[in-house]
Each structure stands twice: as C-alpha cells, then as structure tokens.
Structure 1
Amino acid sequence: MSSEATTQPSVPSRPGFSDVRLRSERLLLLPWGEEHIDAITEACQDPDIQRYVPLPGPYTRADAEKFVRTVAPAGRAAGTDVVFGILHAETGRVLGAVGLHRFKDLGRACGGAGDIGYWAAPWARNQGYMTEAVRVVCAWGFEYLRLARIQWIAVVGNEPSWRVVEKLGFTREGTLRAHLPLPQGGRADTWIGSILSTEWGSAQTGSSSDVC
C-alpha cells in the first residue's frame, strides 16, 4: 500500500459522498463514469453475476447507462450508498464493483451500520482483487464513517462471495428465508454475515487504504 501521507477527511456533516475515491496497491476505486458503461455491460452478461446479483435480465447497455448516470450518483448524493468501480491502477481496466449500501445511524455515538456488496468481472477473478477492494472499502467505512457494523448478504450458495469476506474476518450469522426479491419474480433465501468495528483491526494484518 502507499506510504505517502494523505489528507484524512472526516465524516461529512451532511449527506453526500460524490467525490470519494480510494486506492490500494493494485487498484483504484472511483465513481462510475461514461467511459465504464461498455465494460459494465460486458461483465454483466456473465451467468454467475446474473445468478447471484439482482440485475435486470437480459442486462442491456441501457441498464448500465441508467446505473452509471442515475442510480449510483443518486446514492452518493443522498448519502445512503457509495458504489465504486474497481479499476486496475496501471491499465485502468474495469475489474468489478464494490460498495457500501443502506447506511443507518451515521453520526450516532453508538456508530452506524451499512451493507457491503460487490461483483467481479469474469476476467478479474482468482487474482485477489476483490478481497483487496473489499478490505479498502470496509476500512474506509470503519475509519471515516465510524461504522460499528458492516453487514454482508448474499444469495444462498454464493460461496465465492463468502470466501472474500471470510478472509477479512466476517462471521456468517445465518440464513434469511425469502429475503431478497428477484427482478424476474420470486424471492431468494440469503446468507447473512457481519464484522464489527471492534473486530476489524485484529482481523487485518499489514493492510491499509488511502483516500485520493
């Protein structure tokens, strides 16, 4: 990770995270832009992403345009969700997405809570990128948003998603029946897990993140 000193922003006094960008040794985590629409469209044709992520199906370029131009910016502006595009720091290639969602209790003395979510493009798997990206975002959530709990929810059977957060010290807490509504109809059972701020530091070894 970079050893350069950076300006450490405090939690915003009002909602809005429009300019937040993060980085790690190999990755840049940035707001989505127009230049990423084609890569998002391509990645979301992947059967595993369509199986485990509640996306419209079939996923079209118009869906990616709506996500980049409307959905992702609206969450940042409202202060309820912060979604990052994961880009390779050297090549700029889109590798996936990661975000913190559904913030609750930000600014309270007891600490806030949020949900971690992510997907990896097929060409970016089995290289440690997602664990690296999720670690950076969780560290930002605990340090700068002062979250007390980060929650993970995934469709039952999504073992690759679980392996990412398991490496970071999350505890799998159980199964939520018929928890997730699906775009094509019906509801899916989900696993739920979490990590607390009091557990985070001891679960990480030699890891850090920078705000850029």
Structure 2
Amino acid sequence: MEPITLTTERLRLRAFVPEDEDLVYAHCQDPAVRRWTTVPDPYGREDAVFFLNRIVPDGWRDDTDYAFAVEPLEGGPLFGAVGLHNRGPGVWEVGFWLAPEARGRGHMTEVVRAVAHWAFTGLGCVRLVWRAEIGNTASRAVAERAGFAVEGVQRAGLLHNGTLRDAWVASLLPSDFGLPSPVPYLPPREAPPAVAPRDPRP
C-alpha cells in the first residue's frame, strides 16, 4: 500500500519520512517512551535512522505495518506516533507513543479512534487488538477511552529489552463503532456452563 494521510478534528496522521530523524530521536529519549514501549533502550541515532529508512517503508510496502507520525492539523512538529501491525487475517494491533508536552489533552484517544476507523473501513479488520505491559495505566486509559474492551492478562505477552512481561490485552470490533464486520460475528447469548473437573481416579 502507498502511504496515506488521515486527519481528525485537530490532528494530521502522515507517514514518517527520513527528515523526521531529529524529532523521533529526541522524543524516544523520554523515559516513559523507553520504559513502556518496545523502542530500543537506550535509543540511538542509528535506531531512528533504521526505523525511518527501513521499518517504516518496508511495513507500508509489505502491508505488515503502517506507521503514522502525529502532528497538529494546523501545522507544527510531530509529537507522537501510532502504528497498525498485522497479526493475521483480519487482525491488527495498535501501538502508540506521545511526547510529554502533548499528553493530557486527549490527542492519543483521538488518534487511536481515527486509525481504528480506517482499519475497519479500509483494511477489512475484524478485530483490533491493544496490548500494554501491566502497569502502563496511561496507555490503558487511552484504550478504554477509545472504546476497547479489556479482556484480561496475557502472561509473557510482551518482549521488551530481552525480558518477557505480562500484558493487559483488549479488543475493539467494528460493531463497537456501529460498523458492519466483513465476517459475521455471533457472540454467545450467555456464558457457557462451567465444566466440572474430571476425577482423575479410576
């Protein structure tokens, strides 16, 4: 897919370009970004160059990862990032980070809802997944405000700096946005009955 641009009431989501190196490098020095996301830590200039010149264009070309820079609609420097990552037929995962000066204004909720809508209407997504290491309450707050339903804990769900970590996992479906799903979905009308454990004795 060729890179596209999405807009919201306040923001522009565009593909990253090599000229974003200085800002990407600077924002990824933030302790919260390094602690809670999967960016390399420490984050060097070479990491920014690799991200902008390899990961971003390869993802768009191969339809595996769509990364967007987040900037003010009226103009100004980028202050965040959001990405959609292919997790199998019809399933995508959203990830994001935001610079400190842009936090607390509802920007990322606006961004996540925009990319979710695009995933459902443009990518044939039937299930959008969000995951974050347990303790990342800021990311969880964004997901919940965007409409995600938290499903539970995924043990050893995230690999970060060589260590597996437990993760919260949540999902968003087209029906949560009032949109039709490309594949019919029939949720159970009630919880299935509990199955009594089998007695191992003969």
Give the structure-2-normalised TM-score.
Answer: 0.85
> Which position in structure 1 is the counterpart of 2:187?
none
Q: Deviations over 1:147-190 (max 9, x none)?
A: 1110001111111111111112111101111121222x221111
Contact residue 100 and residue 115 of structure 1 kept, 8 A: yes
Q: Matched residue of 2:178: which SS?
A: helix
Larger RCO of the pair (alpha carbons < 8 Å, separation 6+): 1
1:84-99 pair list within 5 angstroms: 84-99=68-83
> Which position in structure 2 is the counterpart of 1:188?
165
2:2 to 18, 23, 26: 18
Count residues in correspondence.
179
Q: Does 2:183 correspond to 1:199?
A: no
Contact residue 173 and residue 193 of structure 1 kept, 8 A: yes
**How far apart are 1:103 and its partner, in Å?**
4.3
Unaligned 5+ segments in structure 2 are 180-202
1:60 to 30, 44, 47: 44
Task: Calculate percent identity across the aligned residue pairs.
Answer: 39
Q: Partner amino acid for 1:77?
A: R
> Which position in structure 1 is the counterpart of 2:144?
166
Q: Does 2:24 correspond to 1:50?
A: no
Q: Matched residue of 2:29: which SS?
A: coil
Task: Give distance in 1, aligned partners of 2:139 and 2:163.
Answer: 22
Q: Deviations over 1:86-140 (max 9, x none)?
A: 01112321110011102422xxxxxx11001111011111111111111110000
> Which position in structure 1 is the counterpart of 2:128?
150
- Give the number of the structure whose alpha-carbon radius of gyration is greater: 2
Q: Does 2:62 correspond to 1:78?
A: yes
Q: Does 2:109 correspond to 1:125?
A: no
> Which position in structure 1 is the counterpart of 2:196?
none
Q: Matched residue of 1:104: which SS?
A: coil
Task: Spell out structure 1 runs of 4+ moving beyond 3 A.
Answer: none
Task: Give distance in 1, aligned partners of 2:45 and 2:153.
Answer: 33
Contact residue 18 and residue 73 of structure 1 kept, 8 A: no
> Which position in structure 1 is the counterpart of 2:19?
35
Task: Give distance in 2, aligned partners of 1:67 and 1:29.
Answer: 17
Task: Give distance in 2, aligned partners of 1:26 and 1:49.
Answer: 23
Q: Partner amino acid for 2:50?
A: K
Contact residue 81 and residue 103 of structure 1 kept, 8 A: no
Q: CA RMSD in A?
A: 1.3
